[in-house]
Amino acid sequence: MIKLEPEILQAVEKPARYTGYELNAVHKDWDGVECHFALSLADVYEVGMSNLGLKILYEVLNNREDTVCERVYAPWTDMETIMRDRNIPLFSLESFTEINKFDFLGFSLQYEMIYSNVLNMLDLAGIPIWTRDRQESDPFVVGGGPTVFNTEPISDFFDFFILGEGEELIVEVVDTFVKWKANGRIGGRKGFLKEVAKLEGIYVPSFYKVNYNDQGRFLSIEPVEAEAKPKIFKRVIKDMDKVHFVEKPVMPYIGIVHDRIMLELFRGCTRGCRFCQAGTSYRPVRERSRAYLRQLARKLVDSTGYNEMSLTSLSSADYSCLGEMVDDLFADFEGEKVSFSLPSLRIDSFSIDLAHKMQQVRKSGLTFAPEAGTQRLRDVINKGVTEENLMTAVEAAFRQGWKQVKLYFMMGLPTETDEDIVGIAQLAEKVARKYKEVTGKWGVTVTISVSCFVPKPHTPFQWFGQLPKDEFERRQRLLKDSIKEKAVKFHYHDARVSVLEGAISRGDRRISQVIYQAWQDGAKFDGWTDLFKNEVWHEAFRKCGIDLREYNERTRDLDEPLPWEHTTPGVSREFLRREYDKAMRGELTEDCRRGKCSACGVCPSLGAKVVDYKRNGGEG
């Protein structure tokens, strides 16, 4: 057990990151359980504590009598310096136990630029970074989360990965471990990995051999153990009302990124935006019932004391019972001053009346995501909304008194031209002028936030090359120069980070050398602008003899093998290819949720089906 002296906590920024003992934290007798599981997001406390998936798994595991689950996050740089100077190993927040004493260390992998932090945390914990170097007493290092559908760049650091939704699968993993342990740990670490590899949705990278061609490009991946499947499909929860959702989240002592209740309405999105990895990874749509959500909302308010609740999902306004659900919530919490909010709204499903009702307690700005500045490009990406949709929505909003609008766009999308870039400025200025037209005066703030497009695996755009950094920056300057209205504010992402993300997200196992080299040379907290070390990463590519442009800028041949296709969310290559061709023709694909099946392959391959109460004729 680690004991932090008072002078240590007094010497660091935000000492509450390391003190533990928060409300709703679970404490168990370490020696009274069979399995010890540490859960982490490899970022600072405020980010990790905001992750909904970890909150759910924390309760799922701690609901077992034979298991204890504790939390650990990345120490900030000031704390890390002290820990290294005083030889303090990484520890858990519940029992202050050294992380290398746990049976499992599970990481939620939210984005590629977190990978250097994973290595840094393993090093701080005294756990060998490379899987091949781990001994029988070392924890099993497990990965899950959004990036697991191409884990090849980090496969040599992880013992196994959980693909897809983990609430049911993580219980099966623990069952397998407890049984293996009770039977005398037959076969050692490899023996357990053979057993866990039999579970649907588990990928054990060391059980596969990767082949490259004479040019050094990925050629194939093949199983080398009998338990390894040629293709691993994700796990999917089929009935969202029958799986545990967080009811008593741990309450932080300090402000965190999402410092509110998160009520998940449903999972999945079949809108079919062709750039969106989440849209393919989380299919099919499965709604929770109104009755169940109503129960959850009451429990969460009572167990936390929060007075703000976000109704979350990939496209929350698409919840089929949303209007009735909001009425339920207002009736249940009348007089309690609880406010409700929706994340970024789709323009075509937007209801000003609903938004006005939801923001009676606390009024904030509105957020929309047109994604592209022209209708041509919106059709290429299958956004399915028009300028008229946006203007209708903002006009109604301005008449209701809104004065702040945020618009999300992407830059560098396939087939994009300068005309599309200028179109972003023109669209934002039309929104600003609409306020003047409605109210007769100025006073609106229209903020446009523009990210750099990163092609992602298992999307129709997975074959496209990414723009070079210099071209991203040229287009950013073009957009900035095209904005004439003072009411329009412009924020953009760092193109240097995006091009690295592009290389890693479509990488193969050779990229692990680069990640390791960059970490050795000082890379960490790469998602934080003030700590990002661009030259360290580029030097790491050079040291390893690997061409960054080969991974991010190169357009893949449509028939070439791709290093991520053995781990799949269930979407077929044939579907992605059809969507690629339709993008090039500017053709739209309708949402299969209530329209024609798009034959993406998910439902039959996973044995799942869409759960939509409006489509099914029910009331939820």
pLDDT tens readout for residues 38-53: 999 999 999 999 999 9
Phi and psi at 355, nearest 5°, equal: -65, -40
User: Mean pLDDT for the chain?
Assistant: 95
CATH classification of the domain holding 224: 3.40.50.280
Q: Three-state SS for 112?
A: helix
Give the predicted TM-score (pTM) of the model: 0.96
Task: Say if residue 199's pLDDT is above 70.
Answer: yes
CA angle 505, 346, 467 (to 5 degrees): 30
Tokens of 577: 């290819």
Whose tokens are 């050629």? That residue is 219
Q: Please report, for residues 9, 20, 36, the alpha-carbon distance to residue 251 in angstroms, rounded to integers and kept in the order given.
A: 20, 10, 22
Question: Does any domain span residue 42?
Answer: yes
- Dihedral over Cα of 544, 547, 553, 559: its sign: negative
Model pLDDT, residue 361:
52
- Work out the angle between the directed axes of helices 511-520 and 495-505 (0-180°, nearest 10): 140
User: How many domains is the chain partitioned into structurally?
Assistant: 1
pLDDT per residue as tens digits for the range 521-563: 999 999 999 999 999 999 999 999 999 999 999 999 999 999 9
The whole domain housing 180 covers 6-233
State how far the Cα of 609 lies from the Cα of 238, in Å rounded to an integer. 7
Tokens of 356: 């006005």
Tokens of 246: 């967080």
pLDDT per residue as tens digits for the range 281-300: 999 999 999 999 999 999 99
**141 beta partners:** 105
State how far the Cα of 341 lies from the Cα of 351, in Å rounded to an integer. 13
Question: Does any domain span residue 571?
Answer: no
Order of strands, edge to edge, in the sheet holding 160-162?
Answer: 67-73, 35-41, 104-108, 140-144, 160-162, 202-203
State how far the Cα of 374 lies from the Cα of 409, in Å rounded to an integer. 11
Question: Does any domain span residue 509?
Answer: no
State how far the Cα of 379 lies from the Cα of 585, in Å rounded to an integer. 9
Average pLDDT of span 147-170: 97
Peptide bond into 284 cis (omega under 30): yes
Contacts of 546 (CB under 8 A, 6+ apart): 510, 511, 513, 514
Whose tokens are 């992880």? That residue is 158
Q: How many helices (H) and strands (E) does the chain have?
A: 21, 19
Phi and psi at 241, nearest 5°, equal: -80, -15
Model pLDDT, residue 552:
96
Contacts of 263 (CB under 8 A, 6+ apart): 293, 296, 297, 300, 309, 310, 311, 312
Question: 448, exposed or middle or buried, with CB in 10 Å at 0-12, 13-18, 19+?
Answer: buried
- Dihedral over Cα of 578, 580, 585, 586: its sign: positive
How far is the first Cα of the chain from the last one, in angstroms, to the nearest whole number?
A: 48
pLDDT per residue as tens digits for the range 425-463: 999 999 999 999 999 999 999 999 999 999 999 999 999
C-beta of residue 97 within 8 angstroms of C-beta of residue 30: yes
State how far the Cα of 133 lies from the Cα of 129, in Å rounded to an integer. 7
pLDDT band at 381 (very low <50, low <70, confident <90, very high): very high
- Dihedral over Cα of 314, 461, 108, 525: its sign: negative
